[in-house]
Structure 1
Amino acid sequence: MVNAANLYNPLTLAYLGDAILDLHVRQHVIMKLQAKPNALHRAATFYVSAKSQAETYDALLAEQYFNEQEQDILMRGRNAKSHTKAKNTDVVTYKKSTGLEAVIGYLQLAGEEARLQELLIKIVALCEERERR
């Protein structure tokens, strides 16, 4: 049986994935920092910037984190023709971040909550690892 989440445009999946990742990161930085909104926003930006997401994309690919279906969504998201321009980043970085966001959106729509939470936790952990370097 084909999962209906597969039928969505990868940019639509990325649109949803962006919001889900942003919410997850906001909750994380609130719990971690317990600071004022301006400081929280600056901290959250480290996790959700296109550059950070592209680095996470590369790290997850290198460790072969994604299953076959997620890999397909990742590539569809990365290769999707977007009619918007990347802000403050190059096209390759923007496309990688879009691919990662598409997987997050896909997992949400597919109802794969456990895998989604696992991925979100992994993304935060990879960002924090980079921050410590």
Structure 2
Amino acid sequence: MNVDPRQLNSLALAYIGDAVYELFVRNHLIQLGQVKPQQLHNEAVKYVSGTSQSTIIHEWIDQKRLTAEEEAVVRRGRNAKSHSIPKNVSISAYRYATAFEALMGYHYLMDNKERLHELMNEAINDTNELNN
């Protein structure tokens, strides 16, 4: 089945984007030499939390680091209606985290590998700056 990511539901984009970014973060942490499961989990949460992803996407929007096409994907992701919002994050942060994940999923499914890796690396670097 060939799915056009431009026509796909934003929550489906976020679903795949969440998995892609989580795998990227886990690989990043392994490459840093972290191998203890609890340590890996604790470090990964810094990158994949809704609050962190929301902060990163806000920064990218504010700094005009996204293309018009990416901004449209982010808007769609932010406005997607989800019925299950975690208790540990605000509704606003959750919606922007969903937008972040939708953007990752969009680039993954569009096979925009270079831009996807660029954004994921930026997200890692931006998160590191925020946590230092």
1:90 maps onto 2:108 in alignment: no
Higher helix proportion (structure 1 or 2)? 1
How far did 1:33 drift? 3.8
Matches within 5 A, 1:22-61: 22-61=22-61
- Give the Cα–Cα distance (whole angstroms) in 2 for the partners of residues 123 and 10 of structure 1: 20
Matches within 5 A, 1:1-133: 4-132=4-132
- The residue identity in structure 2 corresponding to 1:23 is L
- Give the AA of the match of 1:49: S
Secondary structure at 2:115 match in 1: helix
The share of aligned pairs that are identical, in percent, is: 36
Alignment check: 8 A CA contact 1:5 1:106 kept: yes
Q: Give how far 1:114 is off.
A: 0.4
- Unaligned runs of 5+ residues in structure 2 are none
| TM superposition outliers: structure 1 runs of 4+ over 2 Å | none
- Cα distance in 2 between the residues matched to 1:46 and 1:128: 9
SS at match of 1:130: helix
Partners of 1:87 and 1:107 in 2: how far apart? 28
Deviations 1:20-60 (A, max 9, x none): 11000001111114231110110000000000001101111
Residue type of the alignment partner of 1:6: R
| Aligned residue identity for 1:17 | G
Number of matched pairs:
130
The alpha carbon displacement at 1:87 in A equals 3.3
Structure 1: give runs of 5+ residues left out of the alignment: none
The code of the aligned residue for 1:34 comes to: Q
Can you list the C-alpha shifts for 1:44-94, whole angstroms capped at 9, x where unaligned? 000000000011011111111111111101000000111112231110000
Q: TM-score, normalised by structure 2?
A: 0.94
